[in-house]
Chains A and B, each alone.
Chain A
């Protein structure tokens, strides 16, 4: 049935060109070399010339090697059997378990009809006050963590994975360091979260093409679970590596680069993945948390810039904490009015005062005189950093709000906070001084 082709006429980068007929665009093929068997995908057809990107790279491919086309697009197995398993970017097991072939689904499927989406309205609690109180995560949200190399973004991701109230966690690792992969595996195992997790891992030493498949494969599997009513959290780390892989392939294909070498369709490519985040009417949901490392902490770099236009806000991780300024959850308004009636008050007041604290810090650094109000702010700022910003803090939302009130009471008089009278009466701690 399948015909083998042996006329490889060009090899450049990880792209090979073979003469073949009757091949469909984006079909999957198998390339057999002396050393190994690898999958490849059609990325251009020009008459008889078919160009394929080889998942495991083109190293060692001979012009006389065999290429066999399967006549369908990339597929992956889906369903309950995948839970607790670890795969590579082409969906092959990395954990010595059996290869899975049931419930095969095509990856990179059709987009969701906007008319079938619903307005997101369910909060995902994480136990991290900087998220829960100040920038609530919402089911079906797509949110990147903007960060720079060296920041503990993978630690943050794994903590959210362990603590978030979701049914299934899918981790898509792109260009991951091997120790980071082990860190994720061990942390999730330690907290018993591995049994409802699925890993698709591409490590830094794996071929670049496989990196491109990771988001698609992770989201295709997630979509199946979501359609069955499951709440799925997809973690992608690091999307900048994905974009760099795109850049590498597009330059190999001699496409005209647009901005700093990235292809002109960078926005569309990323959007196609991020937009898979969805809350299905009458079924489950997909929430995407992704890491975007910013080269040189530059938010105008094409990758974070395009990401910002696609996603619904961002967490900005800097100096080991989630920065309140620069972080934003665009969907928080949908949920934080329904948690507790003081949620928005605490959120607004504490951030405003913290902004004042930052200004005072600047003034202090420039040697201006500190007023009584300034010292109050300095005291407050220090408490805020310690009790709310530190990533070690792990408390439920209601406790965080209570802590907010007691912190305010420790530092300020009620009228200094600008909080509405009715709120003060209801929540302001009755005994002024607290125990700290």
Chain B
């Protein structure tokens, strides 16, 4: 065993510490600052001559020049294995509830606990036999974790095909016990445990190919699924000014989205919001499985008052865990709130490194970092032929609510769907506050393309008329235009908006969306013969009321059918010609 490589601190500025080293250092390796009895974790981020510059994941108060640094030889990594689901970690994968037991109310610096309980017992079932050949990332066996089969893989970091020398039989094992021995072509042997570690900044690439995401990921949010869909394995972003409801939107998505596993990365945001998630999720049941929602959730939580450098690593920790569950053939959704805070963490570090600043002092590599993060999403074909996916949804908090700023712009370049939240919509209590006039999606929706286009068109037309009416008043608007305005408003009100406090209305299944959209399509295309604007307005007001009741009646219930009959009857009385309108 080689002696540990060490260094001596020569400079401290905020959370950046520089140390002079003896032999060599590795870029991005983990180092520990030895301060009295404390060992503070840090990461090497730049090397100049014999000086290694490190970002420290802790408060640096009290650190002195001359103190020792120990280099660890390892890149910043996470532990991957059974026990991740339902857990709450900080950005460095410290389990927060265990930390609370150990240290009480406050996060004591320099205390690092094991991410996964090494003495927990798991029921292992092997899938390979001695003599079998496996590639790194192929299945060796599985253990049951919550509702899933948690597969154990040949370590991702091995090189080339491996021969199985021995494998443990069915039975209970903890994370420390070896369950398999492998030998590579050069005769080098390695041991496999239920847990393996992987560097967070390197994507896991144990798959045969990356596929084009085509299947829609149903979020049960009508505005998203019908008009601006997200695909399984795709990426999307939700920028919005403060108070526009980014977090509420993400919370509801995390509850209702049709995926197997949800990873929530609370990155540099309010602690209170995370608390709400972590106190309510264990009590909420997942409608798909009947089990607590927490069983399919992993929370990575590095809130705004926790150390900044760990905030930067938290999104990588989250995406690595997401990739790991993808390897099991599961559909994973990663929700990052907010990627702007992550970008700001990069900016802070870049400032301390005295790099030449780019736009708004963000580092020049901002765009490439954002791009490579979102590129870790994807639908992949695994070695056994099955598929798995990671979908990434990132909230963006643009300064001043201005979408021109660098983080929003860099994000828009790489994502497949854009859900822009507007202050105007949230102020007028329209939920979700996604503005249909600025949002877009490159993915395919289960709603017929022609019908969806009609929806987009009427919204645009309606908005034009509304703008016009502000200038010339209602009197100067033609009846035809006025009806288009009412149609757009009606579509927005009864379909795009949802009541987040109504048990039924808060989540709409794909089937129901298709069905209702069809009905609305008919109304949008219908020709009405109203005598006056008052009559038109009155008609749509009544129709609205009916739809409101329809929206809150359970799918295919008696109430649902009854209201539908009422609506159809009401329409029949008022629609003059039941044919499609030609429209531009």
Contact = CB atoms under 8 A, between A and B. Distances in A.
A120 to B, nearest CB: 7
Contact of B109 (A44, A110, A368): A110
Contact of A115 (B12, B100, B348, B473): B100
Interface string A286-313: 0000000000000111100110111011
Nearest to B106: A110
B304 interface: yes
Interface string B158-194: 0000000000000000000000000000000000000
B64 interface: yes
A25 B60 contact: yes
A312 B270 contact: yes
Contacts of A227: 105
B97 A115 contact: yes
Size band of the interface chain B makes with A: 35 or more
A264 B348 contact: yes
Interface string A359-386: 0000000001000000000000000000
B271 A117 contact: yes
Contact of A268 (B272, B304, B357): B304
A272 B107 CA distance: 13
Contact of A21 (B11, B65, B397): B65
A111 B96 CA distance: 12
B305 A276 contact: yes
A268 B96 CA distance: 21
Interface in B37-85: 59-66
A256 interface: yes
Contacts of B290: none
Size band of the interface chain A makes with B: 35 or more
Contact of B243 (A73, A119, A276, A308): A308
A421 interface: no
A120 B271 CA distance: 12
B13 A110 contact: no
- Interface SS of chain B: mixed
Name, among A113, A257, A309, the residue most crowded by chain B CB atoms within 10 Å (CB to CB): A113
B11 A45 contact: yes
A337 to B, nearest CB: 10
A326 B306 CA distance: 29
Interface stretch (B140-148, B254-262, B275-283, B488-496): B275-283
Given A117-B271, A308-B243, A25 B344 contact: no
B401 interface: yes
Name, among A110, A114, A117, A312, the residue most crowded by chain B CB atoms within 10 Å (CB to CB): A114
Interface in A100-128: 108-120
Interface string A239-276: 00000000000000001111100011101100110011
B95 to A, nearest CB: 9
A109 B399 contact: no
A257 B361 contact: yes
A114 B301 contact: yes
Contacts of B243: 308, 313, 328, 330
Contacts of A26: 60-62
B106 A268 contact: no
A264 B473 contact: no
B64 A265 contact: no
Nearest to B16: A44
A179 interface: no
A275 B305 contact: yes
A112 B105 contact: yes
Interface string B101-136: 001111111000000000000000000000000000
A267 B338 CA distance: 13
Contacts of A24: 61-64
Contact of B347 (A45, A46, A258): A258
A95 B246 CA distance: 47
A46 B51 CA distance: 13
A137 to B, nearest CB: 14
10 contacts: A25-B60, A25-B61, A45-B12, A46-B13, A111-B106, A115-B88, A271-B304, A275-B304, A275-B305, A312-B272
Given A25-B64, A116-B105, 8 more contacts: A46-B12, A111-B107, A112-B107, A114-B271, A120-B272, A258-B347, A259-B399, A331-B272
State the 4 A-B residue pairs at the shortest beta-carbon distance, nearest first: A300-B400, A271-B304, A275-B305, A258-B361
